[in-house]
Amino acid sequence: MSLYCSSLGTKLPRWGGGYDDAFTLNHVVKQQGSCSTLNLSRKHIGFVSKFDQICSSPVMEDDNKELGLFCDSEEYSKELEFGVKAVQMACSLCQRVQNTLISNTGTNHQVKSKDDNSPVTVADWSVQAIVSWMLSECLGNENISIVAEEDVQTLSKANASELLEAVVETVNECLGEAPRFGVQKPKSALGTSEILEIISRCNSTGGPTGKFWVLDPVDGTLGFVRGDQYAVALALIEDGEVKLGVLGCPNYPMRKEWLSYQHRYHRIISKLTPPTSETWDKGCVLYAKKGSGKAWMQPLVRPTKMFVWPSHAKQVSVSSIDNPALATFCEPVEKANSSHSFTAGLAQSVGLRKQPLRVYSMVKYAAIARGDAEVFMKFAKAGYKEKIWDHAAGVIIIQEAGGMVTDAGGLPLDFSKGLYLEGLDRGIVACSGATLHAKIIHAVDASWGSSSL
Ligand SMILES: Nc1ncnc2c1ncn2[C@@H]1O[C@H](COP(=O)(O)OS(=O)(=O)O)[C@@H](OP(=O)(O)O)[C@H]1O
Ligand SMILES: [Mg+2]
Ligand SMILES: [Mg+2]
Ligand SMILES: [Mg+2]
């Protein structure tokens, strides 16, 4: 493997490991055409200048070994690449399904109700099939273990043949597009039993050891069926720690103010910018790798365009606002999912003055990571156990973008205990910075006793 370097980057303002004299080495380009950015501390600066001098000429493999850095920076790089490709493909699938749902060309069989009355749609199962297929196909069948939200019980029922047919058609239509994302499509269309097997293969139960993926195929399904915000969330966990997060937000608006338009949003946007417009109006995929100190955002791949990894990514970081009066806090839309009255009390005691931004799905995590909001709080009813797929991708992306995510006791969320965030203290608090976070944690303690939660 040869590496080429074209420029020495800027001094980093912040360095996760505590170094204050670190640099970014930009544009290290592998022969295969994939790029990465490395963070180098003072002790590596000799190599940086060496790279700078040999600009555009190959670095010998021995140099790479000596640096010992490329191994680090390349850890999980294949997983990240195919995780992002899978989420990009899934977003494109979801957009098609949501368009048919809200234009009423979709029929009732595309949405079902689960035992807990929450909705599940053709898109939830189809995305789970696509991501499961992609990861197995591109990263090797034997290594893949996936924890995911959906199972095939409803789909396999005798009276669900129309639903199953719709899933098979949606999955194959999406796979037909695989070459646009740099992935070979299957030689022939996948059959019904194959698709059921691919979906049900995502039956890992997580835990403290080993490597597994965590997938929420459509997070905020309620928002999805209402033509509003939703997300596709994929994370990689190893030995109980989230290592990668990828969050697709197909309806994330170009202007943050439009986040609060809720279901009216879709109609407004389609009037302002018709889908044929050359200017892309909405949608992004965010991703981050543990310990990199960076989170990235890509636009969604436009229909008919080719996806080239990792081009067009832009770094995102959290807001610098730490004055509660200027901060925006977000929370779930549904009162059943988080107590609006408890967070209203907290907001008042902390001095958050703006109206809460109620948004479906992990788009709330995306809003914090992009710097469009400063606080996210969720306080579910007593007895509700938060699932790992509802948080893993969002947590790592906020952390790498410079923010903080803990439970209401100030402890990190524990992804090592299986399907649930066992031991979660009261609720989840995500903030752009430590000042706001400390104020909220303090306020929770002060008002918890008098709450009805
Ligand atoms: N009772 C209860 N309390 C708390 N949380 C619950 C509850 N029931 C479900 N869920 C999970 O909430 C996920 C959706 O969260 P949101 O933040 O999008 O909520 S909201 O729709 O905006 O109200 C939702 O994710 P999806 O099922 O992927 O949409 C659920 O996993
Ligand atoms: Mg969810
Ligand atoms: Mg879901
Ligand atoms: Mg669900």
Among protein residues, the one whose CA lies closest to atom 31 of ligand 1: 390
Among protein residues, the one whose CA lies closest to atom 11 of ligand 1: 337
Cβ-contact 167, 157 below 8 angstroms: no
Whether 273 has a pLDDT exceeding 80, the answer reads no
Q: From the CA of 217, which ligand is nearest? A: 3
- Taking the CA of residue 364 as reference, the ligand 1 atom at the shortest distance is 17
3-state helix, strand, coil in the chain (%, to 5): 40, 20, 40
User: How far does residue 216's CA lie from ligand 3's centre (Å)?
Assistant: 5
Would the annotation count 390 as a binding residue? yes
Whether 131 has a pLDDT exceeding 50, the answer reads yes
Whether 77 has a pLDDT exceeding 80, the answer reads yes
* Site of tokens 């749609």: 121
User: In which order are the strands placed within the sheet that holds 3-11?
Assistant: 3-11, 23-30, 35-40
**Range 229-241 average pLDDT:** 98
More confident residue, 41 or 143: 143
Beta strand residue intervals within 166-240, DSSP E: 211-219, 231-238
User: How far does residue 335's CA lie from ligand 1's centre (Å)?
Assistant: 10
Among 66-70, 185-189, 322-326, 358-362, name the one with the lowest average pLDDT.
66-70
Annotated active-site residue 209? The verdict is no
CA distance 97 to 224: 9
CA distance 85 to 252: 18
Whether 148 has a pLDDT exceeding 50, the answer reads yes
Confidence of residue 270 (pLDDT cuts 50, 70, 90): low
Task: Look at residue 337 in the predicted model and tell me its pLDDT.
Answer: 97
228 lines ligand 1 (CB under 6 A): no
Would the annotation count 219 as a binding residue? yes
191 lines ligand 1 (CB under 6 A): no
More confident residue, 406 or 111: 406
Specify the pTM. Answer: 0.84
Among protein residues, the one whose CA lies closest to atom 1 of ligand 1: 337
Task: Look at residue 103 in the predicted model and tell me its pLDDT.
Answer: 81
Pocket test for ligand 1, best of 334, 338, 368 (most atoms within 8 A of CB): 334
Cβ-contact 56, 4 below 8 angstroms: yes
Task: Look at residue 283 in the predicted model and tell me its pLDDT.
Answer: 94
Would the annotation count 216 as a binding residue? yes
Cβ-contact 364, 374 below 8 angstroms: no
Read off the pLDDT of residues 151-198 as tens digits, 9 standing for 90 and up: 999 999 998 999 999 999 999 999 999 999 999 999 999 999 999 999
Read off the pLDDT of residues 42-54 as tens digits, 9 standing for 90 and up: 334 333 333 333 2
Residue of 170, 221, 328, 343 marked catalytic: 221
